[in-house]
A and B are shown apart, each in its own frame.
Chain A
């Protein structure tokens, strides 16, 4: 009985705080994305114009984000029937957009305005742990250039 009560308390705590945190995070992401719009990012390997660029530096940003208790519970239920796990989709979207923003922030700090060859790497750092945390790490990196586009 007590176990059930604890479960419900954890679920509701996770739901309330998780939703608040996620909404706040998305608002902040959208705000910063418009702030860093002037920094162009490309997934292609070569810069726009090959001459004139003087500086090239590696820039990167990473973030580790965890899901809340409620979402993990929902995902576990979803595991039984299969299909789209929306609980984890938003987690990965947040992590990727945040990592890209941090990469752009580093580029701006170094005075660069273009990033080419952007790579995204995802790692689940706590895999294999017994009491595992449902957390994901995303690292975004690329070559920052100062270009006169």
Chain B
């Protein structure tokens, strides 16, 4: 599965367009991470726990998108975009979407 955020895959031709595929995940942080974040609140600096949490969540959103693309028979996803929204206090939604295509 090739994933890009441009409209083409260099050197490959698109044979068939299959429409949009998407994947999302809503994650909340746990109390331990919040506690550490509270300390960082005073000293400043990177919140490693949050960084990891968001990395994992984004990977999961992309995985779900790939699964959906595989299910409809695509072998590449083009023009992928990411979007983040905070649905409730302390929880974030990560959303990935793109166009599923069949490459030659």
Contact = CB atoms under 8 A, between A and B. Distances in A.
A135 interface: yes
Given A64-B51, A126-B90, A142 B46 contact: no
- Which 5 pairs, one residue from A and one from B, show the smallest C-beta to C-beta distance? A68-B44, A53-B10, A123-B84, A64-B50, A18-B44
A13 B41 contact: no
B40 interface: yes
A66 B40 contact: yes
Contacts of B40: 66, 133, 135
A113 B40 CA distance: 35
A41 interface: no
A65 B58 contact: no
Interface of A: 10, 13-14, 17-18, 21-22, 25, 45-47, 50-54, 56-58, 60, 62-69, 71, 98, 116-117, 119, 121, 123-131, 133-135, 137, 139, 141-143, 145
B43 A65 contact: no
Given A123-B84, A123-B92, A69 B50 contact: no
* Band of interface residues on B: 35 or more
10 contacts: A54-B11, A56-B6, A60-B82, A66-B45, A69-B43, A71-B44, A116-B6, A125-B84, A139-B82, A142-B5
Interface of B: 2-11, 37-38, 40-47, 50-51, 54-55, 58, 62, 80-86, 88-90, 92
B6 A125 contact: no
B90 A69 contact: no
B67 to A, nearest CB: 16
